[in-house]
Structure 1
């Protein structure tokens, strides 16, 4: 029993440590960053964005910025997925901690009962029922109690079996806690790496933009608007929305109203409201407000929600972008979406075809 007890204490300490770490601010755990089916131009090394040379091509600068912010979006999606998983693991570990605590109390009670049985046996000298019969002064009274003796023996046997089962359960809980703790430690390291990637990409983009003069920034903004307008026009010219005009469902309408109320709020990576959002933070929060929770990340929204044809989309549907599903917006009708674009921007309305469309999903299908 000594070995079992030491194992239980170790398990309890393991779970307490796990719950303590999970309660720390900012703790989350990251999944591996998905590969992109249409990856942008590789971003500059984390050491810093290249200094634009005199006479630089602002179109090239725009492409570099797009690549940096795309990489930051991919890392943000991985960060969000890991944090969601960590919250589930935290709840599971808390439940496991409760099982260990309850099992420990049960084990102590069983040990007390086993100890009482052992003391009783000691008082009788450890004599068997047959020996007590042969040596007793009153065989008649002994025979009267034979049934109780047999019943007691069965009770002791059941007690020992229950004690063994409880010890085995607690050892299993301890093994489970140890495995979960190792996994959480690995996720913590991966989460830290994802957070570093996000900050490196955003810092590099901000440094690159900071080296532009005011007129160059204005020209760059104009280039971005023109590129988005060209993409939207080309998308509409395909006739993809000809005949479209389905009305939102009741919940879809609520989700659209929630998203619309967030216009002007800043983009912050990892944020899901109420004061700031990233792209999937906005869509997941809007649908939660409509009473229909959806996955937290754009990639999980693409993977787990029902796909619908673009020409059949209706307000409230989610439009997923890029080959790696690293961005998402909410369709609001008339070829437009509401989305949280990237760091430095706010929740805004944009053309649904202003970015490469991967597809459309419907949360309440």
Structure 2
């Protein structure tokens, strides 16, 4: 990687701009292109057969699987985006260091050149030789001190130039490594984005096969499954043990999440108009003055784990074995979360999904 001032800064700015474009919230999913209108008879013959009502439970389970896989890919997308943001910032800082180092090196070279020109104007003899040829002992002794100082200054100048050149090489090497990481994360982000679109498109295609009454029945099956899971969780008596009160920051986080209810789920989004699950929880805690990791998996890895019976409003409940979903506990056995595409930020039962564990951001 070159050390030219303009090239490095321009490259760094280009990286930041590229990351910004890649992470733009408006890139959720493209609407399917309209197809030419077919004749009624052709439409009937081309339409896929509706699944029988008895298979709607299987449809529900299939949709759950598709949206779960989309959630996993969303976490991968968010993680790659977060890493890319950090790497682009590091490249900018390295570029600044390279520019500053190059300026310093230019100054040192000017000083070395000035010393060489002074020696040339003095006949080319070094100061030590001039003193040896002097007939004045006092001048010799006074000059000897200056010679030693000059030699030390010259050695110091050379050492400083060497250090600066070494630093510049190190900065350039680090910047090159960050470029490689940035490119790898760009590819990871693109792959995750492709997978998200594929999973959601498959889910939408499956749902679009249903008649209106079947969609209503499917929605009812979803509610029943969530209610069944919540009832089973409450029947354990766990709610009788949960008596924790929210901290000051926890109350602020809950207030923020509550004010987002009704806003749509959009993968990769972190507000203010839409959210994905970890986008909602991370922004809620950021608003409370306590930043936390962006993804549900990193929230599970990095934040303090607490027992379910000890949780309090503001704590985060992590769901599924792969930590692919997160919600905020708000008390009374309820959560606020951004469920999945096609849904909005809503209130739900804390036990309506398989709980992996609970984490506390402000432990």
Pairwise TM-score range, normalised by the shorter structure: 0.7 to 0.9
Equivalent position of 2:22 in the other structure: 27
Compared with structure 1, are the counterparts of its residues 164 and 227 closer, same or farther at alpha carbon in structure 2 (3 Å cutoff)? same
Find the aligned partners of 1:299 and 1:291 in 2 and give their Cα distance. 21
Aligned counterpart for 1:263 among listed residues 261, 264, 277: 261
Find the aligned partners of 2:78 and 2:165 in 1 and give their Cα distance. 38
Q: Secondary structure at the match of 1:155?
A: helix
Unaligned runs of 5+ in 1: 1-5, 29-50
Contact 1:133/1:139 (CA < 8 Å) preserved in 2?
no
Q: Secondary structure at the match of 1:361?
A: strand
Q: 1:282 offset after TM fit, Å?
A: 0.8
Compared with structure 1, are the counterparts of its residues 302 and 134 closer, same or farther at alpha carbon in structure 2 (3 Å cutoff)? closer
Q: 1:120 offset after TM fit, Å?
A: 1.7
Q: 1:14 offset after TM fit, Å?
A: 4.8
Contact 2:242/2:308 (CA < 8 Å) preserved in 1?
no
Equivalent position of 1:364 in the other structure: 362
The C-alpha deviation readout for 1:262-308, integer Å capped at 9, x for no partner, is 11010011111111111111111111111222111111111111111
Equivalent position of 2:7 in the other structure: 13
Equivalent position of 2:218 in the other structure: 220
Aligned counterpart for 1:343 among listed residues 330, 341, 344: 341
Contact 1:7/1:171 (CA < 8 Å) preserved in 2?
no
**Mapping of 1:197-276 within 5 angstroms?**
197-276=195-274
Contact 2:56/2:218 (CA < 8 Å) preserved in 1?
yes
Find the aligned partners of 2:332 and 2:106 in 1 and give their Cα distance. 68
The C-alpha deviation readout for 1:243-277, integer Å capped at 9, x for no partner, is 32322122211111111111101001111111111
Contact 1:19/1:93 (CA < 8 Å) preserved in 2?
no
**Mapping of 1:110-125 within 5 angstroms?**
110-125=108-123
Q: TM-score, normalised by structure 1?
A: 0.86
Find the aligned partners of 1:231 and 1:272 in 2 and give their Cα distance. 28
Contact 1:279/1:341 (CA < 8 Å) preserved in 2?
yes
Find the aligned partners of 1:122 and 1:7 in 2 and give their Cα distance. 34
118-127 or 220-229: bigger deviation: 118-127
The count of residues paired between Structure 1 and Structure 2 equals 337
Contact 1:264/1:347 (CA < 8 Å) preserved in 2?
yes
**Mapping of 1:102-117 within 5 angstroms?**
102-117=100-115
Contact 2:253/2:284 (CA < 8 Å) preserved in 1?
yes
Contact 2:80/2:185 (CA < 8 Å) preserved in 1?
yes
Find the aligned partners of 2:289 and 2:141 in 1 and give their Cα distance. 71
Find the aligned partners of 1:52 and 1:322 in 2 and give their Cα distance. 33
Find the aligned partners of 1:129 and 1:293 in 2 and give their Cα distance. 62
Q: Secondary structure at the match of 2:59?
A: helix
Contact 2:131/2:144 (CA < 8 Å) preserved in 1?
no
Contact 1:231/1:353 (CA < 8 Å) preserved in 2?
yes
Contact 2:264/2:343 (CA < 8 Å) preserved in 1?
yes
Q: 1:116 offset after TM fit, Å?
A: 0.9
Pairing 1:169–2:153 present: no
The C-alpha deviation readout for 1:36-60, integer Å capped at 9, x for no partner, is xxxxxxxxxxxxxxx6664361111
Equivalent position of 2:290 in the other structure: 292
Equivalent position of 2:180 in the other structure: 182
Q: TM-score, normalised by structure 2?
A: 0.87
Compared with structure 1, are the counterparts of its residues 144 and 344 closer, same or farther at alpha carbon in structure 2 (3 Å cutoff)? same
Superposed CA RMSD: 2.1
